[in-house]
């Protein structure tokens, strides 16, 4: 009976192949009718076998004779079924069939390996390392640039607050001239008066200034921690985006296979329903169609979700450049790959802002202008020499960016 069921399954697959080929419709009708007859007889024998196992009121030898008769008819049906699918009516001998099976198995394995290694078989993977993606985001993100500028303002605020703690010496000079006889231009040196005043404000009582200086130190430390937290969040988001894209690719392949299996279930359920089997009802066919529709929706949602997550990664890396219409040109490009970009944008402002002209800042304030841009130590290229005549570093010798002064002393 197991052999009979296996041969019936083979005939069912041959009928499915004939439907796909859409050829030899007349031969298919005869094979289909014979298949239905043998299927009913096989199910009847299986029912009697089950009754024999329960109550023992059946003749085992009679059942065996009927099963052998079904096998003989299935062997006769094998020729028309093979002819219906375009295959040779007679099967080759055992050795030839074994060699043909081995050859077909090798071709199947080669095809499977080729499809598995072909990126076009599924979603295109993102070829970008996690560390490169993090460096790109840390260098290119505009919100990080603004946060660094705020931190520099807090650092300069420490210097301004510290200046109020020093002694203040004010010099006032006043010169006055007088005229006689109401003549406006008859100035005489004898009638002039010169006054010179000097006032010295010693740092004996600076409670308000001291509190302001302490507040500036607190603001600087809070800004530094805010910058560190923002950098950590950026790195976390980039890592999560890359992981989500890899997960989307795996789930998409699984959803495609699930959709294929659901399609096979719909066809097999439809075929069994058309045969009138008692174990299959119209509800089973409707459930198979519902599962197939859900599988197709899962495939579509997986592909759309991958596109959205890839756009989110480009946004996190500050690589999403819109065109004049406000649309990202790479949105529908399945082969788009984000690039590693550790070069600080030349159109961006200096790392820690600029100082206004015609102002005499101290040397400690000017130290911020000498800080290298983000990504400088990654690419190993030094900044150009500034106006103070400091030489440009040679080779891989990287200068250490000037760090802000300790919080206890101020800049």
Please tell me the least confidently modeled range out of 166-180, 270-284, 290-304, 328-342. Answer: 270-284
Q: Show Cβ contacts of residue 348 under 8 Å, excluding neighbours closer than 6 positions.
A: 142, 145
Of 371, 332, 330, 367, the residue nearest 349 (C-alpha) = 371
Q: Are 220 and 115 in contact (CB under 8 A)?
A: no
- Report phi then psi at 176, rounded to 5: -130, 145
pLDDT in tens, 122-158: 788 999 999 999 999 999 998 998 898 899 889 888 8
What's the rounded mean pLDDT across residues 329-355?
Answer: 84
pLDDT of residue 302: 93
3-state helix, strand, coil in the chain (%, to 5): 60, 5, 35
- What residues have CB less than 8 Å from 226, skipping those under 6 apart? 147, 150, 151
Residue 115's pLDDT band, with cuts at 50, 70 and 90, is low
State residue 244's pLDDT score: 94
The pLDDT of residue 234 is 94
Tokens 């800042």 locate to 361
Q: Do the beta carbons of residue 74 and residue 38 sit within 8 Å? A: yes
User: Which of the residue ranges 66-70, 91-95, 234-238 has the most confident prediction, judged by mean pLDDT?
Assistant: 234-238
Check pLDDT > 80 for residue 333.
yes
With a cut of 90, say whether residue 225 has pLDDT above it. yes
pLDDT at 168: 84
pLDDT, tens digit, 9 for 90 and up, residues 381-391: 444 434 343 33
Q: What percentage of the chain carries pLDDT values higher than 90?
A: 26
Could you read off the pLDDT of 240-288 as tens digits, one per residue? 999 999 999 999 999 998 998 998 888 888 877 776 677 778 888 899 9
The average pLDDT across 296-301 equals 94
Name which residue leads in pLDDT, 58 or 194: 194
Under 8 Å between Cβ of 110 and 39: no
Q: What is the C-alpha to C-alpha distance for residues 71 and 41, in angstroms, rounded to an integer?
A: 11
Q: What is the pLDDT of residue 18?
A: 83
pTM over 0.75: no
Span 9-66, pLDDT tens digits: 888 888 888 887 776 667 788 888 888 899 898 888 888 887 777 776 667 888 888 8
Question: How far is it, in rounded angstroms, from Cα 45 to Cα 52?
Answer: 10
Lowest mean pLDDT among 40-44, 117-121, 407-411: 407-411
Tens of pLDDT, residue by residue over 82-94, are 888 877 777 766 6
One DSSP character per residue, 329-390 reads: TTTT-TT--PPP--SPPTTSPPTT--PPTT----HHHHGGGGSPPTTHHHHT-PPPP-TT-P
Q: What is the mean pLDDT of the chain?
A: 81
Residue 405 has a pLDDT of: 39
Is 349 or 138 the better-scoring residue by pLDDT? 138
Shortest CA distance to 38 belongs to which of 4, 14, 61, 6? 4
CB 297 within 8 A of CB 262: no
Higher pLDDT, 95 or 306: 306
Distance CA 257, CA 262 (A): 9
207 vs 108: which has the higher pLDDT: 207
């Amino acid at each position: 009976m197991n052999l009979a069921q296996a041969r019936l399954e083979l005939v069912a697959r041959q009928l499915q192949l004939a439907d796909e080929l859409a050829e030899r419709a007349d031969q298919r009708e005869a094979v289909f009718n014979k298949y239905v007859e043998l299927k009913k007889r096989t199910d009847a024998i299986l029912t009697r076998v089950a009754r024999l196992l329960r109550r023992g009121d059946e003749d085992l030898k009679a059942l065996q004779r009927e099963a052998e008769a079904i096998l003989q008819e299935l062997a006769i049906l094998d020729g028309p079924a093979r002819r219906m699918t375009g295959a040779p009516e007679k099967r080759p001998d055992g050795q030839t069939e074994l060699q043909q099976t081995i050859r077909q198995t090798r071709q199947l394995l080669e095809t499977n390996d080729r499809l598995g290694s072909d990126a076009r078989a599924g979603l295109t993977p993102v070829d970008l390392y996690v560390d490169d993606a993090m460096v790109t985001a840390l260098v290119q993100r505009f919100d990080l640039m603004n946060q660094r500028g705020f931190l520099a303002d807090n650092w300069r605020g420490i210097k301004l607050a510290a200046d109020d703690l020093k002694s203040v010496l004010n010099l006032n000079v006043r010169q006055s001239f007088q005229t006689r006889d109401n003549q406006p231009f008859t100035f005489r040196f004898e009638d002039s008066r010169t006054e010179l005043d000097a006032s010295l404000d010693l740092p004996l009582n600076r409670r308000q200034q001291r509190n302001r200086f302490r507040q500036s130190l607190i603001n600087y430390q809070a800004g530094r921690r805010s910058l560190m937290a923002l950098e950590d969040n950026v790195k976390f988001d980039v890592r999560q985006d890359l992981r989500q894209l890899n997960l989307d690719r795996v789930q998409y392949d699984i959803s495609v296979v699930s959709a294929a299996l659901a399609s096979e279930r719909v066809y097999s359920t439809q075929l069994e329903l058309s045969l009138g089997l008692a174990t299959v009802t119209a509800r089973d066919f409707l459930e198979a169609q519902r599962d197939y529709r859900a599988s197709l929706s899962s495939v579509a949602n997986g592909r759309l979700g991958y596109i959205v997550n890839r756009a989110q990664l480009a946004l996190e890396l500050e690589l999403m450049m819109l065109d004049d219409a406000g649309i990202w040109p790479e949105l529908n490009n399945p082969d788009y790959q984000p690039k590693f970009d550790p070069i600080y944008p030349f159109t961006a402002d200096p790392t820690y802002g600029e100082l206004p002209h015609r102002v005499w800042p101290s040397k400690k304030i000017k130290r911020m202008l000498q800080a290298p841009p983000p990504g400088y130590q990654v690419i190993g290229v030094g900044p150009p020499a500034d106006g103070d005549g400091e030489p440009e570093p040679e080779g891989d010798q990287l200068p250490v960016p000037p760090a802000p002064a300790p919080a206890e002393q101020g800049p």
